[in-house]
């Protein structure tokens, strides 16, 4: 058993958890996620959800099977998908009597002290009101140009940044895989799950491969970058399979699931 004491928790879900391979919403996973997070709030915990899926859901909405190559097309898809995603969250959370609020972020907002403080004030106020903030990158405005970097690039690192900024006790990252393996398990049958990681160095990054599905973005590399940020801030992260998001209860009950990233005492 692992002892995990966490009052303020950030949960990150990837596109691969929220959508089926055919582009349709994975309603079972979304429902279980909403049920689990509402349950945690009822237990008195403070919960923030970082949810990907805008582009993936937009693709499904418009009946497209491939992510388009141009930025404006991707941004248009995100605009469509984000509203659909929030509509579904609103519906499912309301079944459990849980209120939600949307926070869309860009890098510059978190870099600039005044806007950063405004965002943090919003988080604190929502959490005090027992509302779950649902965070995504503001994909329709985020760009990555020579002199204008507003993009986080991936929600794995965004979730770590949020967890650190609001001083969360734990980041639970839900993906389409049981945790971090010593090599990419989609390629190697003998890959072994690593239960605990205390340090992330070049050797650790060498074990990480790319994304699993065509809708995921960063693969294991961005999850390790997120974990490294967390360890540098002396914070804890767990990477686990989000196939059944109620796994969150098991994790918090101390069951040894997924990979725990934690600094040595």
Ligand X SMILES: Nc1ncnc2c1ncn2[C@@H]1O[C@H](COP(=O)(O)OP(=O)(O)O)[C@@H](O)[C@H]1O
16 is in an annotated binding site: no
Residue 159 sits in the site that holds ligand VHF (CB under 6 A): no
Residue 35 beta carbon to ligand X: minimum distance, rounded to whole angstroms: 20
Say which entry of ligand VHF, ligand X, none residue 208 contacts (CB below 5 to 8 A, set by partner kind).
ligand X
- Taking the least distance from each CB to ligand X, the nearer of 123 and 181 is 181
Asked if 129 contacts 194 with a C-beta cutoff of 8 angstroms, the reply is: no
* 50 makes contact with ligand X (CB under 6 A): no
> Any contact of residue 216 with ligand X (CB under 6 A)?
yes
The answer on whether 175 is annotated among ligand-binding residues is: yes
**Residue 204 binds to ligand VHF (criterion: CB under 6 A):** no
65 is in an annotated binding site: no
In DSSP terms, 172 is beta-bridged to: 11, 238
**Distance of alpha carbon 83 from the chain centroid:** 18
Residue closer to ligand VHF by CB (options 76, 130) is 76
Binding ligand X by CB under 6 A: which of 68, 209, 241, 250?
209
Residue 16-55 contact track with ligand VHF, rule CB under 6 A, x = bound: ------------------------------------xxxx
Q: What Rg do the C-alpha atoms of the chain give, in angstroms?
A: 17
- How many residues of this chain bind ligand X (CB under 6 A)? 24
**241 is a site residue for ligand X (CB under 6 A):** no
Give the Cβ contact number of residue 210 at 10 Å: 14
Residue 154 annotated as binding site: no
Q: Which of 111, 95, 141, 103 is nearest to 10 (CA)?
A: 103
Residue 53 binds which entry of ligand VHF, ligand X, none, with Cβ cut-offs from 5 to 8 Å by kind?
Answer: ligand VHF
> Taking the complex as a whole, how short is the minimal distance between the CB of residue 219 and ligand X, in angstroms?
4
Q: Taking a C-beta distance cutoff of 8 angstroms, is the pair 215, 77 a contact?
A: no
If binding is defined by CB under 6 A, does position 250 make contact with ligand X?
Answer: no
> Min. distance of Cβ 60 from ligand X in angstroms?
15
At CA 50, angle to CA 8 and CA 27, rounded to 5? 115
Token pair 């974990």: residue = 227
Residues that bind ligand VHF (CB under 6 A): 14-15, 52-56, 78, 136-137, 139, 154-155, 216-218
Annotated binding site for substrate: 52, 139, 155
């Amino acid at each position: 058993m692992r002892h995990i004491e966490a009052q303020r928790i950030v949960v990150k879900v990837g596109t691969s958890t929220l959508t089926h391979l055919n582009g349709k919403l994975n309603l079972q996973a979304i429902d279980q996620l909403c049920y689990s997070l509402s349950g945690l709030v009822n237990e008195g915990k403070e919960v923030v959800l970082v949810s990907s899926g805008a582009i993936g859901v937009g693709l499904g909405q418009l009946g497209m099977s491939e992510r388009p190559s141009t930025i404006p097309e991707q941004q248009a898809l995100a605009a469509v998908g984000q509203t659909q995603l929030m509509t579904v969250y609103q519906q499912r959370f309301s079944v459990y009597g849980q209120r939600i609020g949307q926070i869309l972020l860009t890098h510059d907002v978190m870099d600039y002290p005044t806007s950063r403080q405004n965002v943090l004030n919003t988080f604190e106020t929502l959490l005090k009101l027992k509302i779950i903030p649902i965070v995504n990158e503001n994909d329709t405005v985020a760009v990555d140009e020579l002199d204008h970097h507003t993009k986080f690039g991936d929600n794995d690192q965004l979730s770590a940044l949020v967890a650190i900024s609001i001083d969360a006790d734990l980041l639970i990252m839900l993906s389409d895989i049981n945790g971090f393996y010593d090599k990419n398990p989609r390629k190697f049958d003998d890959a072994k799950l690593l239960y605990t990681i205390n340090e992330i160095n070049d050797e650790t990054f060498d074990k990480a491969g790319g994304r699993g599905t065509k809708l995921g973005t960063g693969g294991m590399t961005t999850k390790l970058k997120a974990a490294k940020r967390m360890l540098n801030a002396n914070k804890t992260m767990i990477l686990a399979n989000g196939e059944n998001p109620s796994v969150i209860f098991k994790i918090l009950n101390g069951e040894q699931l997924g990979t725990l990233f934690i600094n040595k005492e």
